[in-house]
A and B are shown apart, each in its own frame.
Chain A
Amino acid sequence: MNSADQSHNFATAGLPAETVGDVHVDHPRMTARNVDVFYGDKQAIDNVTLDIGEKQVISFIGPSGCGKSTFLRCLNRMNDTIDICRITGEIALDGQNIYDPKIDVVPLRARVGMVFQKPNPFPKSIFDNVAYGPRIHGIATSKDELNDIVESSLERAGLWNEVKDRLHQPGTGLSGGQQQRLCIARAIAVSPEVILMDEPCSALDPIATAKIEELIAELSSEYTIVIVTHSMQQAARVSQRTAYFHLGKLVEVGNTDQIFTNPQHEMTNNYITGRFG
């Protein structure tokens, strides 16, 4: 249908009309129903329905340009900053539609935090980076409380021991992996419910990547995490559920073990075995 006017016709042939696998979970934190996203006339997401389970890690995989990052950015309305972006369907956080005109994006983004592909600490001190969110939202009521929030956030991000002696040095002076953990600390400092991670390790070396993956595993006991990744090994290691996107469609979703050992759809199978993508 809509995907027919896309250029990669060779790959659209096998797209399923409906997502394969169970899109629903027992305790969803976020629910997306029939979501379409358009950039101007171009459709980037086509009728995606998906539940994101509470305190679960779900990974989005798929070839470049398949819409996984676009869909991720819909979950905290980061796409609002793009003028030509239009979204239909419903995305709900705890049963409340986040695209309701009455919803303010500021508290929404405090509840659904985000970590980006490229580490992007503010050109401020390490302390100020982490303290920024709590400060603007007025989360800490005293200076001591703010200090505690910064310390515990850095601790949970596994960075405290490395930076405790130089909290007032610029965050941009850290290594890439440390910067990304600083960004994670910054995200969790505002006590979000959901953390969105857009290829958080793509700019990092294997050792830094391993640290972030460990961190994701630890954080999943407290937070609902959605991670977009190009590394299938990473998806297999960190997530409980995996969703495979292709050309704006959600092709298949299921438990990570099942997706990687016994994919139901042929395209998923082709992708995870490295035949295309």
Chain B
Amino acid sequence: MSDVTKGRISPDVAASRVAAGLAARRSKEKRFQLYGKIAIGIALAFLVTLFVSIFSKGIPGFFQHYVTLEVTLDRAKLDPAGDLSVQSLYDGDARGVIRKALYEATGASGRSGRKAAGKIISGGAEQRLREAVLNDPSILDTTQSMTFAVDDDVDSFLRGFIKRETPEKDRRINDRMIGYIDTLTEQGLISFQFSDYLIFGSASRNAEMAGIFGALIGSILTLAVCLVLSFPMGVATAVYLEEFAPKNRVTELIEININNLAAVPSVVFGILGLAIFIGIFGMPRSIPLIGGVVLALMTLPTIIISSRAAIRAVPPSIRDAALGVGASRMQTMLHHVVPLAMPGMLTGTIIGMAQALGETAPLLMIGMVAFIVDVPGSVTDPGTVLPVQIFMWADFAERMFVLKTSAAIMVLLAFLILMNAAAIIIRKKLERRW
């Protein structure tokens, strides 16, 4: 009798016991969900703080103050040789022409007055004027209304970072300059515009002229080298390891090393690049070619690991089908497995590229941190990249560099978001169901 009933619990008792534990189970579940929500909330709060901080500084960084002047383009002064050559324009007195217009607009006179007025305008104004003349020589010997950036200190004053109330000794612009700025403002000659220097300018010591164009081109060249090297190599490695390599000690060792490589701090790759490419092979410093090679080394493990996962995700039935009609292993790979794994491979590659785009440390090691004004024209021209440019700007104290740093961070973020979005779109588009 006891044998039969032992271990048997009547349905009523079982139901009541289940009911008794139910409340605890539910509250446990609720609590667990709450933990999750709190975690997400904290993460979101950090993200929002980050974005607010970057955007609040970065958006004003996309704009700067300009002054519009009526410039009399006296040919004799601007083009002394009269042949419109670059040399002749550089020999000419563009600075004097601009200053003259400035003195007229501000009414500056006397030595100290003229000196103060001259400081209002950016040092880059002359270059602007020369470019305008080169583009359209017919403007010579006429009077044109031209817009030039103001000096970064003047810009800071106009933004209110430099206060009028501060004693004259303690601020970077003196009372006379403030007077001229006020004159210009009253005439409506000062404008707050989208900063073309930021987008089309290159590295500069003058904050108002500094821009990211050179760094952006450097980034694109570096990434191009990185992609050309790492994508075919990564995919080929993944295909070989996954499909052809014999499973033995050697391939196991290779596998472990690839996985370890993914965890190596990026600066180590920089040291490697410095020691091997610059030290042993004697290649020049600061060039996107070496930057790309170093980043390719860093990106390879990411691409290999994601490509292998993508290959493994192709159902074996597809391989069977191809082998079953007599395709060789290579044909099976190239005709079926690789195309089906391609979305995963591309996703991994784009994510690897996005990592490479944001990488700074290894590029510092190979000298891409140099101050280079020229935009690199090829992968062997010295250059820098966006994150390194941001790193350099963050070092400067000028208010305008702070703003431009944030603006450059926004551009970098935009590119990263764009690349990640591309990864998602490619995955969604090419995804096949079987």
Chain A residues packing against B (C-beta within 8 Å): 76, 78, 81, 83, 105-110, 113-116, 118, 120-123, 132-133, 136-137, 172, 183, 186-187, 189-190
Contact = CB atoms under 8 A, between A and B. Distances in A.
20 contacts: A81-B323, A107-B326, A109-B324, A113-B324, A116-B321, A116-B324, A120-B315, A120-B317, A120-B320, A122-B322, A122-B336, A123-B432, A123-B434, A132-B325, A132-B335, A133-B325, A136-B326, A172-B432, A172-B433, A187-B324
B324 A190 contact: no
Given A113-B324, A114-B325, A136-B335, 11 more contacts: A76-B324, A78-B320, A81-B323, A105-B326, A106-B326, A110-B325, A120-B317, A123-B340, A132-B335, A136-B327, A190-B325
Interface string B242-258: 00000100000000000
A193 to B, nearest CB: 13
Contacts of B321: 116, 120-122, 183, 186
B92 to A, nearest CB: 68
A116 B325 CA distance: 11
Given A83-B247, A123-B432, A109 B318 contact: no
B206 interface: no
Nearest to A120: B317
Interface of B: 247, 315, 317-328, 331, 335-336, 340, 432-434
Contacts of B315: 120
Contact of B323 (A78, A83, A190): A78
A114 B336 contact: no
Contacts of B433: 123, 172
Contacts, number: 70
Contacts of A109: 323-326
Contact of B317 (A83, A110, A116): A116
Contacts of B325: 109-110, 113-114, 132-133, 136, 186-187, 189-190
Contacts of A118: 317
B197 to A, nearest CB: 51
A185 to B, nearest CB: 11
Contacts of A114: 320, 324-325
A136 B328 CA distance: 9
Contacts of B326: 105-110, 113, 133, 136-137, 190
Given A76-B324, A109-B323, A123-B434, A136 B340 contact: no
Contacts of B340: 123
Nearest to A109: B326
A250 B322 CA distance: 30
Contacts of B336: 122
A81 B325 CA distance: 14
B32 to A, nearest CB: 39
Contacts of A83: 247
A63 to B, nearest CB: 23
A122 B319 CA distance: 9
Contact of A116 (B320, B327, B432): B320
Contacts of B324: 76, 78, 109, 113-116, 187
Contacts of B328: 106
B203 to A, nearest CB: 50
Contact of A172 (B319, B322, B335, B434): B434
A76 B320 CA distance: 12
Contacts of B319: 81
A114 B247 CA distance: 27
A108 B328 CA distance: 11
Q: Which 8 A-B pairs have the closest CB atoms?
A: A110-B326, A120-B317, A109-B326, A114-B324, A133-B325, A120-B321, A123-B432, A106-B326
A200 B319 CA distance: 17
A121 to B, nearest CB: 7
A123 B432 CA distance: 7
A43 to B, nearest CB: 22
Nearest to B320: A116
A81 B434 CA distance: 22
Nearest to B246: A83
Contacts of A106: 326-328
B328 to A, nearest CB: 5
Nearest to A133: B325
A123 B336 CA distance: 9
Contacts of A78: 320, 323-324
Contact of B318 (A105, A107, A120): A120
A104 to B, nearest CB: 9
Contacts of A172: 432-434
Interface centre among A76, A120, A186, A189 (most CB of B within 10 A): A120
Contacts of A76: 324
Contacts of A189: 325
A120 B326 CA distance: 15
A69 to B, nearest CB: 12
Nearest to A111: B326
A170 B331 CA distance: 20
